[in-house]
Amino acid sequence: MIRLDALTRVYATPQGPVTAVDGVSFEVGAGETCVLLGPSGCGKTTTLRMINRLVRPTSGKVFIAGRDTDAVDPVELRRGIGYVIQQIGLFPNMTVAENIGVVPRLLGWNAGRRRRRAEELLALLALEPARFLDRYPNELSGGQAQRVGVARALAVDPPVLLMDEPFAALDPVNREAVQDEFLRMQRTLRKTILFVSHDIDEAVKMADRIAIFRAGRLVQFATPDTMLAHPADAFVAGFVGSDRTLKRLRLIRVRDVMVPLAAGEVPAGGPALAPDDDLRRAAALFLELGSEALRCEDAGGRVVGCVTRAAVAARLGARDGGGMDAQGIAARRGDEGGAA
């Protein structure tokens, strides 16, 4: 869906040329979320801004749906790409409805259609349309404003979203909530998303793929599980942190390590896991109860299998990255189709 080919940006400075982005190539499939991750000044934002031509590449190409973006008028290109920034950038002179209607208006939608679309999107983002449509941005909380920012980016239903640290300005509690909502929405919308972040936890949570940058170069491009299991070098290992195994636990579902239950193996009673829980819960229970195996029950309370410490350890030690990545993506998207 989005392909970057040797994308490079060099800035002329009084101290001589500085290469902000150096020959970055990768491809993000339709419906995938790719997080561009790295410390500040690593070129991730510049890379993002070259995709909608807010920054002109010095060399290299960007293809969106196979089309060379060089050949498209930048203004037209941007109207077809959702864009969300950290400062949100809601226009304070416009109401929520007018903010969401900016791109539709540029595309010539009439007032009625713009307002209906704004209502639809607010409802999608769990903001009551009747209460919020005619508010001004200064009458919104941070979390509400960020939701409106996302709604505005989705206004004309663009297939691609570019998000530059969209949730960085929110407090941790709000950030979690907005992230969860965004993930839930993305499961139905299936946008192709490029998402800049400096927060490894956010990346692990949101990403199908992570592109990790250092000093303008792409260091590793992999699924979150692969990146945590097999960091490409010491820099990546340092960035993802020494607790990377713990971080991996959230990526793996109980159903992926569940084995059929042999009678008498696991004691009845006590807490049970659900197949859709992630392994953080399993790990917590193992530590809490000191048990070797945990019972797995479906929503109806029927025992469907068990999880053993050995199975979890085997899963975390597994070496064949590719196979489980596809599995992981499929599980996170809640469908059986696998990676597109």
Which residues form the interface with another protein (CB under 8 A)?
52, 54, 75-80, 83, 85, 87-95, 102-103, 106, 136-139, 152, 162
Of 54 and 232, the one with the shorter C-beta distance to another protein is 54
Residue 82 CB, shortest distance to another protein, in Å, is: 9
Residue 108 CB, shortest distance to another protein, in Å, is: 13
Of 90 and 258, the one with the shorter C-beta distance to another protein is 90
Residue 103 CB, shortest distance to another protein, in Å, is: 5
Residue 87 CB, shortest distance to another protein, in Å, is: 4
Q: Which residues contact 105 (CB under 8 A, 6 or more apart)?
A: 114
Contact between 321 and 226 (Cβ < 8 Å): yes
Of 149 and 224, the one with the shorter C-beta distance to another protein is 149
Of 79 and 214, the one with the shorter C-beta distance to another protein is 79
Of 104 and 143, the one with the shorter C-beta distance to another protein is 104
Residue 259 CB, shortest distance to another protein, in Å, is: 49
Residue 110 CB, shortest distance to another protein, in Å, is: 17
Dist. CA 24–CA 17, nearest whole Å: 18
Of 73 and 320, the one with the shorter C-beta distance to another protein is 73
